[in-house]
Amino acid sequence: MASEDQTEHLLHRYSDKPDPSDSGDSAVADLVNPCLKEGEIYHVFISYSSADCGWAHGFIDRLEAARPGLLTCYHERDFIPGRTVLDNMADCIQGSQKVLLVLSKDFLQSRWCLLEANLSLFRDCIECKPVLPVLLEPCAVPLHLSHLTYLEAGDPNFFSKVLKVLCTPNHLLRSSNVVLFQPPCVYNGKVLLTQQAVEGEDIPNWKAGMFSTTMIPDQLRLVLEKPEAYRKAMSVINSVPTSRFCFRYLWVRVVLCIVLALLLSFLILLGVLISVGFPTQSNPSANSLLARLPVGLGLMVVGLVLIPSLIQITACWAKSKGKEMLREMRLRAGQANMILTQEKLLVGCESRTKLHFIYLSLEGCRETFRKTFQRTGSPAGGWEEQFHTALLYFSSGYACCVTKRHFPFPQPPDMGPGHQESGILCFCQYVSLQLRRGVWA
């Protein structure tokens, strides 16, 4: 991200032409255009919004004038007519050594939307090629670029910095302070994906949703180092057993409720008849009436208490089964998080058909668990077992809370800072507060 000095330049207005006061032209004599490798046609692909074409054309003209051998590529000149914009962008990015993105509000509403529509293209681009974001005006830097150091068009040394990057071989840029190649740590606490079940939201109450294990969402490809971890985690969540009980059929529950209702009516009628006596030629004696009355009342009480309870259980079976399924899915999500936490990912199970994926490093919380249990004299390795138990029971709920930026309990005023720079509760704080409340979920 930009330094404080760089941020001040965001307040400067930009013109339609690059700043003529830029003294970079005098410093380009010693730079050498990098050699193009096999499959490379251009040194740089420049992507910009048509609304910013005035600035972009002036910048490209100056760039080509300063470095005659530097081959630039941009859409108005080099896109092939008749092909889709995405296809043209893919080929131009593939055939270029570097990618320069001219960021502005218009770019984010047009070009960036196209890139995000095919994040697999952007993932290949950002993994294999240096990406140089140029901030043309104050705007929100996209999440997928926020871990890169960007240049500002208002910087007096902007042009010389751009030339330095473009004339530096790609393998040397990994140690450069102009373009940073580092893990996307600024994703911390950010929601990467909300994934729906394959069947959609309209599934029976007694059934657990199934999630794709074959297609890895593009939002996760950007941060996953081991794609197999995602597939394994999804297999764990999908392993919730589906009910085989006949009650899963609605007609079975309806028929059973009717039978129970008829049984209730029969027991009440039988109880009344036994209590008052069957019609006979002579009236029953007082002793025989006293003997039959408890039996009749007993049958009516059993009918009025037991049968309605059975009817309610039968009628509400699907709903209660759905709650049971959700509890089981959240536990499976906790098991999945034991796998995903190595990829700095957590998954939260909000419902039987919806999962939330967040990017979160738990290294600080792991260290807190280790220090805490070592102070209590726990056996070596015991802290790790406790940490896994916390992941199993609490990580799914924590991921959902982070997703919604809402925790369903007040935070004590004496709660110190956690391990998350974004200001949200860290995982170990969440576990501690839940345990104080006596909650295990």
pLDDT, residue 33, reads 86
Number of neighbours of residue 220 by Cβ within 10 angstroms: 21
Residue 12 has pLDDT above 70, yes or no: no
154 compared with 145, residue with greater pLDDT = 154
pLDDT, residue 394, reads 94
Residue 5 has pLDDT above 50, yes or no: no
257 compared with 64, residue with greater pLDDT = 64
pLDDT, residue 333, reads 95
Confidence of residue 181 (pLDDT cuts 50, 70, 90): very low
Residue 215 has pLDDT above 90, yes or no: no
Beta strands 151-152; 96-103: pairing state: unpaired
- Chain segment 334-343, per-residue pLDDT in tens: 999 999 998 8
- Chain segment 324-383, per-residue pLDDT in tens: 888 999 999 999 999 999 888 999 999 989 999 988 888 888 888 888 877 766 666 678
Supply the mean pLDDT for the chain. Answer: 76
Cα torsion at 288, 293, 298, 304 (round to 10°)? 140
| pTM of the predicted model as reported, rounded to 2 decimal places | 0.53
Residue 422 has pLDDT above 90, yes or no: no
> How many percent of the chain have pLDDT more than 90?
19
Question: Structural domain boundaries of the chain?
Answer: 15-182, 187-206+327-436
Residue 2 has pLDDT above 70, yes or no: no
> Considering only CA atoms, which of 77, 68, 120, 362 is closest in space to residue 227?
120
DSSP-derived secondary structure letter, 23: G
Q: Where does 186-316 have alpha helices with state H?
A: 218-221, 227-238, 250-276, 286-315
- Check if the beta carbon of residue 400 is closer than 8 Å to that of residue 349: yes
Confidence of residue 62 (pLDDT cuts 50, 70, 90): very high
DSSP-assigned states of every residue in 129-146 = S-EEEEE-SS-PPPGGGT
205 compared with 280, residue with greater pLDDT = 205
Confidence of residue 72 (pLDDT cuts 50, 70, 90): very high
CATH topology of domain 15-182: Rossmann fold (3.40.50)
